[in-house]
Amino acid sequence: MKLAKLECLILFFLLSPALALAAKDTSDYPLRVELLSNSALTYRPYASSGIANFMYRVNGRGNVGDGTAKHAFDFKYDSNIRVRLTLRNETYLAKWKKPQHELEVLVPEIGKDGRYQACDMLTTVHEGALVRTSQGLIEMSQDDYKARQERREAAKAAQAQGQPAAVSNLSVTSNPDSAEIEVDGALMGTTPSVFHLDVGTHTITLHKTGYKPWERKMMLVTGEIKLNADLEPENPK
């Protein structure tokens, strides 16, 4: 019995090439990766009830860049964890194992500073770059993406020289909590959270496994605003 369990454990690690635990030198990972959308299938690589053998087969889209350029890419990987999407202004460290075709992405271990899980992703790199909008992900040409970034930087500079922009403090909660929060198509965090948003119209969307998506388009004004969402189960009993 013990020998059988040992064989299962060995087989588990052999069948998990996409994920490895390691202490990594982050200076060896010059790339910055954004994971912006994905879909996952689950499967069991072998039959066993003695140890966990739950695996994710994930496909998705994101951006990969080296600090001077950013390109959209499609990715896929098999792993015993599902690597979460990146939040706004967040990236994963990465390096090419096969340029343009395979990335090694470092995923921080929760609660363990300096420890990472190395996830290998097969990739197809595109010429343009992806941006999040209220209509979802859009791939722009490099020229259009550069012009967009220049406009955003110019707007920040103009704001810094003038009066501070009017800000709304939006508190988002849900029942149940721990739902993913999107603001205008950008993943911002999970409930409960507080965001400082520009005054104006914004679309707030919540997602949680096992529940129907919840969405509200609302006009935010200066001051404190509280928003609570009662999520509806996908398959109510």
Structure token pair of residue 14: 């052999």
Structure token pair of residue 71: 């390109």
Q: Which CATH superfamily, name and number, covers 167-227?
A: Immunoglobulins (2.60.40.10)
What residues have CB less than 8 Å from 165, skipping those under 6 apart?
159, 198, 199
Average pLDDT for the chain: 82
Q: What's the pLDDT score for residue 127?
A: 95
Q: What's the pLDDT score for residue 73?
A: 97
CATH 2.60.40.10 domain span(s) along the chain: 167-227
Q: With cut-offs at 50, 70 and 90, classify the pLDDT of residue 14.
A: very low
Give Cα 149 distance to the centre of its chain.
21
Q: Which amino acid is at 51?
A: I
Q: What's the pLDDT score for residue 65?
A: 93
Q: With cut-offs at 50, 70 and 90, classify the pLDDT of residue 110.
A: confident
The residue-averaged pLDDT of 210-221 equals 90
Does residue 17 have a pLDDT over 60?
A: no
Q: What's the pLDDT score for residue 139?
A: 92
Q: With cut-offs at 50, 70 and 90, classify the pLDDT of residue 204.
A: very high
Encode pLDDT of 18-63 as tens digits: 544 445 688 899 999 999 998 888 777 766 655 556 788 999 999 9
The residue-averaged pLDDT of 77-83 equals 87
Q: What's the pLDDT score for residue 58?
A: 93
Q: With cut-offs at 50, 70 and 90, classify the pLDDT of residue 70.
A: very high
Give Cα 193 distance to the centre of its chain.
17
* C-alpha to C-alpha distance for 136 and 184, rounded to whole angstroms: 8
Q: Which of 11-20, 56-65, 83-92, 107-116 has the highest mean pLDDT?
A: 56-65
Q: What's the pLDDT score for residue 98?
A: 95
CB atoms within 10 A of CB 64: 27
Burial label, 230 (beta-carbon count in 10 A; 0-12, 13-18, 19+): exposed
Query: Is the separation of the CB atoms in 83 and 107 below 8 Å?
Result: yes
Tally of helices (H runs) and strands (E runs) in the chain: 2, 16
What residues have CB less than 8 Å from 14, skipping those under 6 apart?
none
Higher confidence at residue 225 or residue 20?
225
Residue 88 three-state SS: coil
Encode pLDDT of 135-191 as tens digits: 678 899 999 888 888 877 876 776 677 655 667 889 999 999 999 998 887 788 889
* C-alpha to C-alpha distance for 46 and 41, rounded to whole angstroms: 16
Does residue 3 have a pLDDT over 60?
A: no
Q: What's the pLDDT score for residue 18?
A: 52
